[in-house]
Structure 1
Amino acid sequence: MSNSVTERNTHVTMDPAALKADSRRKMTIGEIIAFILLICITITMIFPVVFMVSTALKTSKEMLQFPPTIIPRVFAWENFRTLFANEEIKFGILYKNSIIVAVVSVIGTVFSSALVAYGFTRYRAKGKRILFMLMISTMMLPYPAVMIPQFILFSNLGWVNSFLPLIVPTFLGSAYQIFLLRQFFMSLPNELYDSGRIDGCTEFRLFWKIALPLSGPALATVAIFTFIWTWNDLLGPVLYLSSQEKFTLPVGLAAMMSSKFRIAPYNLLMCASIMTTLPIIAIFASAQKHFTEGIVLTGIK
């Protein structure tokens, strides 16, 4: 009888293990399928980057061969030196102009948007919600709807063919960035501001010493978004800039495809694309932690 009880207990104890092993086997198969799908998607997304790097390192002769080669026979590293030395492209000037516009735009957007968002969060006034909704509604306006009035305004101010039309509006805030920062400021406890007032802080000092230092992830998110949008902007520089010495990188890349070249220098164009992409990759990689924290913490409220 004891043997039968032991066999029954063994049978009972073995069944959960068998079920667990079976479920683990099913999960492993699912993970393998998901892993294979991720590999396929990754290869599909990385292939254009690989082809861009490959074309950038090809000679002009190999660049025109068909079918195209993935690995260059001769790595033409001198293409990057030719890109910066070319007097028609003036890539160094394009790079400098883009850096100036992007950096100043990030500073203006971050400061002005944070200041407006703080006001919408901390101050109580009649009609504040209506003003906030009106500001948010401007996000639904397409840029072509305001493009002509803005051009007439900046033209009358004498700002055409300068960086001012691209930089000055950033110091007036951005509706999307204001909304993003407002949601983050609303998650900060009021006790922090009360303790600051007890210590004699003014309202601006509360904003500068308490709200901004605690909003690092949200500010990093706003800075990254603004830098990417400004760095890749083509329509604004095309609209307001007319001299080659003021062109930014997107305009310069488009000009490289113009008819002044007998054959479009695709190898130099790919070199320029690599150099244009590097700052975005570097900034996103260095601020990735703050970027993800900003997205998560902004949605908590």
Structure 2
Amino acid sequence: MRQRFVHSLLVTLLILVALIMLVPFFWMLWTSVQPPTFSLTLPKIPAVLNWQNYLIVWQTTAFARYYANSILVALTTTIFQLFTSILAAFAFTHLQFYGRRLLFKLLIITMMIPGELLLVPNFMTLSALHWIDTYAALIIPWIASVFMMFTLHQAFESQSRTSYYAARIDGGNDWQYLWYILVPMHRTIIIAVALLQLISSWNAFMWPLIVTNSDRLRTLPLGLINFSTSVGTNYPLLMTSTALSIFPLLILYLFLQRFIITGISKVNLRG
């Protein structure tokens, strides 16, 4: 009886916390379909939902360009990070080479360095290469991720070496074992960390702000800032632009939630 009461109490608390966290999201969606005369008062049901706000935002701003830039940068950096991190994680777990442990420790130490400290040296390097205000500046510095490499290293290291030796005995090389056996066995963790990196790249603000000068290369976070400056206190349009910026990630999560939840739970258990 007591366990049932405690379980019911925990479920109630979780539902309450979930509702509290969802309130800002639903408020944003509700405000995005309000008329232009909407003010920050208690919600009222309008006679007609103003879906025109989405069309207005899309047509009166360069949202298509912002979307294209964000998709290009986020997908490209995530794909490169996946490729480099998978190769690095495999090398540190299955290959023997001089200085392997020391190099791995040095890479882990770099995770302790705040990213803000690297902004100036990275900017100076790109400026010397004349890459400022180019797609290369938005993509090249982020084609490798120590966080993703470390996470995949932990996953690969938990894999029994029996399958590796069996693959080698059957005539398979390291490349074949990696892509045909190891990666498919850990696809849930790979998808989970890839989505985390994709979200991080999609929401990046400071770095694109520093290395881009023209509207041609602006990503969605920068586009939202420019849009909010132009519309002022028109809250329905502001919420519409915000909703448009998060819809792609929301849709992606809905399709991949099974892999994400399973992958993150495995990462936590193995961490």
- TM-score where L is the length of structure 2: 0.92
Query: 1:139 touches 1:176 (CA, 8 Å); kept in 2?
Result: yes
- Higher CA-based Rg: 1
Answering whether residue 167 of structure 2 is matched by residue 196 of structure 1, we say yes
Q: Deviations over 1:44-83 (max 9, x none)?
A: 212111211111011111x23x534253443100100111
Residues 243 and 293 of structure 1: CA distance in aligned 2, closer, same or farther (over 3 Å): same
Q: Deviations over 1:15-62 (max 9, x none)?
A: xxxxxxxxx2x444434433443343233212111211111011111x
**Alignment match, 2:70:** 98
Residues 70 and 160 of structure 1: CA distance in aligned 2, closer, same or farther (over 3 Å): farther
Query: 2:134 touches 2:217 (CA, 8 Å); kept in 1?
Result: yes
**Alignment match, 1:264:** 233
1:111 to partner: Cα distance? 0.7
| RMSD of aligned alpha carbons | 1.9
Residues 248 and 28 of structure 1: CA distance in aligned 2, closer, same or farther (over 3 Å): same
**Alignment match, 2:123:** 151
Residues 76 and 128 of structure 1: CA distance in aligned 2, closer, same or farther (over 3 Å): same
The residue matched to 2:228 in structure 1 has which SS?
A: coil
Query: 2:74 touches 2:202 (CA, 8 Å); kept in 1?
Result: yes
The residue matched to 2:155 in structure 1 has which SS?
A: helix
Equivalent position amino acid for 2:91 in 1: G
Query: 1:54 touches 1:72 (CA, 8 Å); kept in 2?
Result: no
Point out where structure 1 has 5 or more consecutive residues left out of the alignment: 1-23
Query: 1:256 touches 1:265 (CA, 8 Å); kept in 2?
Result: no
User: What number of residue pairs does the alignment pair up?
Assistant: 270
Q: Distance in 2 between matches of 1:39 and 1:213?
A: 35
Equivalent position amino acid for 1:148 in 2: V
The residue matched to 1:257 in structure 2 has which SS?
A: helix
**Alignment match, 1:84:** 58
Residues 194 and 42 of structure 1: CA distance in aligned 2, closer, same or farther (over 3 Å): closer
Q: Distance in 2 between matches of 1:195 and 1:29?
A: 51
Equivalent position amino acid for 1:183 in 2: Q
Q: Distance in 2 between matches of 1:271 and 1:234?
A: 19
**1:33-72 equivalences in 2 (<5 Å):** 33-61=9-37, 63-64=38-39, 67-72=41-46
Query: 1:161 touches 1:240 (CA, 8 Å); kept in 2?
Result: yes
**Alignment match, 1:296:** 265
**Alignment match, 2:193:** 222
Point out where structure 2 has 5 or more consecutive residues left out of the alignment: none
Q: Deviations over 1:129-184 (max 9, x none)?
A: 1111110010111112111110011111121111212212333x211111100011
Q: Give the fraction of aligned pairs with identical amino acids, expressed as a percent.
A: 29
Q: Distance in 2 between matches of 1:67 and 1:217?
A: 44
Equivalent position amino acid for 2:55 in 1: R
1:252 to partner: Cα distance? 0.7
Q: Distance in 2 between matches of 1:178 and 1:246?
A: 29
